[in-house]
Chain A
Amino acid sequence: MIKNQSGAIALDFIFALVLVLSMTLLLGVFSFSLSIIESVQYLTFSSSRAYFAGHVSPDEQKKAAEKKFKELSATGSYQKLLKKDWFNVTLDEVGSSRNEYGASDERDIFEGVRTKIVVGLLELQIPLFGSTKGDNPYETFVTSFLGRESSAEECMEMVNRRFKEILNLGPYNAGTINPTAYVSFDDNGC
């Protein structure tokens, strides 16, 4: 007769241990991911702020945002935490994201920075129970839509257009004004 039954609970224990450890690991990974996403929110906001500030042209404003994003991503803790296989963080859009959100009203501001995060860390292989991989990748977007100040290029376009429209006004259109005698310049911005 086998009288020693101490091993009978072993299977149950192994099963429960794997389950509990897996759940703990999942919760830990979820919390860690949310913390990183919160940090990426600042990264996005900071890039959006760089994009917002006035510059020579809209292209330069875009470059300023990209530069800020690149610089911050390679700085301090970001450099250590944003590992591509764990958290793949990329600039999805710098500029207008109106189409993504179906904005039709010109008063809806979707001008800023949109960052894409793919959380590879959540794709876990849990022993005995299978993988956490699903139909969709673990990705999300972090956004910061602050708007954009007009650039010097756009300011000058506006100043030139205004000058032409002034010339086209009735009293000034008598041929007495020589348009080439004037130079356009912006007075304290737009």
Chain B
Amino acid sequence: MKLTHINNESGQVAIEYILLMVVVLGAFLGARNLLISTNAVGNFVQKPWQLVAGMIETGVWGEPKKTRAQHPGLLSRHRSFKGDGE
């Protein structure tokens, strides 16, 4: 029986591209799953929002729960409830 050589090599590149596509898609899906599992997008918006929420409510950059104790209404001031002459 006579052996025949495969002279047509055009299919090799296609297989290589498929392998590359699997690697690239795998990396993409892995990165996507990592972003979703760590809630990266949520944290990306949540953390600045907390600072902004503190500024809106109390006028101080920081989480509202922490900055409520720094509300300007708590600043010490001098005021008398007694009338004149007392």
> A residues touching B (Cβ–Cβ < 8 Å)?
1-2, 11, 15, 26, 34, 37, 100-103, 105, 107-110, 122, 126, 128-136, 138-143, 145
Contacts and interface: CB of A to CB of B under 8 A. Distances in A.
A126 B39 CA distance: 12
Nearest to B65: A136
B32 A128 contact: yes
Given A101-B73, A102-B68, A37 B17 contact: no
A117 B1 CA distance: 84
A122 B57 CA distance: 18
Contacts of B39: 130-131, 134
Interface of B: 10, 13-14, 17, 24, 28, 32, 35-36, 39-46, 49-50, 52-53, 56-57, 64, 68-69, 71, 73-74, 76-77, 79
Contact of A130 (B35, B53, B56, B69): B35
A145 to B, nearest CB: 6
Q: Is the interface of B mostly helix, strand, loop or mixed?
A: helix
Which of B35, B43, B49, B76 is the most central at the interface, judged by chain A CB atoms within 10 Å of its CB?
B49
Nearest to A143: B57
Contact of A122 (B24, B36, B49, B77): B49
CB-CB nearest 4 A-B residue pairs: A134-B46, A140-B53, A134-B42, A130-B36
